[in-house]
């Protein structure tokens, strides 16, 4: 496949992406109409000043040790993995609720000990907000009927969470983070 002659599947992908861009971007839709009608005139002033497409962000590989350490802490303080791995079908709802309460308390204590977590937005859920152009899309996800460009007005359905500080214990060089909880042998 070349850029000037895309395959059938490539054309389907192009058609779907163009469809959604036409719905959300009036200037782009006008440009498609000009091309469809055979008008090869110079682009409009706003098209000429449009920024070049941004390159795809580079992906970095996460070091799993911190995640494994957190799992170990949640297991130690809340028996989190024991709870999740347990087949709960044979237990009553009351038994599951009692166990969940203990796991919840332990998980909450672990998170509060090792992280400072704050809401992304300070407004109460249900509050009406307006997001101006340039809002942080990594901290705010738009849901519902998302059409057009900012400013967007809507209701906060979830305030979000962000970590302000991490206080994980330091690990010895010889520590095997993949052992989340050692097996216990009672003598």
Q: Where are the domains of the chain?
A: 8-48, 63-117+161-179, 121-159
Q: Which of 19-23, 125-129, 148-152 has the lowest mean pLDDT?
A: 19-23
Kindly provide the b/e burial profile for residues 50-61, where b requires at least 16 CB atoms within 10 angstroms of the residue's own CB. eeeeeeeeeeee
Distance from C-alpha of 111 to C-alpha of 161, rounded to nearest angstrom = 12
- Helix (H) or strand (E) run with residue 129 in it: strand 128-131
Q: Which of 27-31, 95-99, 148-152, 162-166 has the lowest mean pLDDT?
A: 27-31
Kindly provide the b/e burial profile for residues 176-186, where b requires at least 16 CB atoms within 10 angstroms of the residue's own CB. eeeebeeeeee
pTM of this structure: 0.62
Phi, psi of 119 (to 5 degrees): -65, 150
Average pLDDT of the chain, as a whole number? 85
């Amino acid at each position: 496949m070349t850029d000037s002659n895309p395959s059938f599947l490539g054309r389907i992908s192009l058609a779907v992406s163009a469809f959604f861009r036409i719905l959300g971007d009036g200037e782009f839709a006008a440009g498609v109409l000009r091309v469809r009608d055979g008008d090869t005139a110079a682009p409009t002033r706003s098209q000429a000043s449009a920024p070049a497409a941004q390159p795809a962000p580079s992906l970095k590989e996460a070091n799993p040790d911190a995640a494994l350490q957190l799992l170990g802490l949640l297991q130690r303080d809340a028996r989190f993995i024991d709870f999740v791995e347990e087949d709960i079908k044979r237990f009553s709802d009351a038994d599951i609720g009692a166990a969940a309460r203990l796991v919840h308390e332990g998980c909450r204590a672990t998170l509060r000990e090792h992280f400072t977590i704050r809401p992304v937005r300070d407004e109460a859920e249900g509050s009406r907000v307006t997001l101006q152009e340039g809002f942080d899309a990594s901290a705010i996800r738009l849901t519902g009927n998302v059409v057009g460009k900012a400013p967007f007005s809507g209701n906060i359905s979830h305030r979000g969470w962000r970590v302000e500080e991490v206080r994980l214990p330091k690990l010895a060089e010889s520590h095997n983070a993949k052992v989340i909880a050692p097996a216990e042998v009672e003598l």
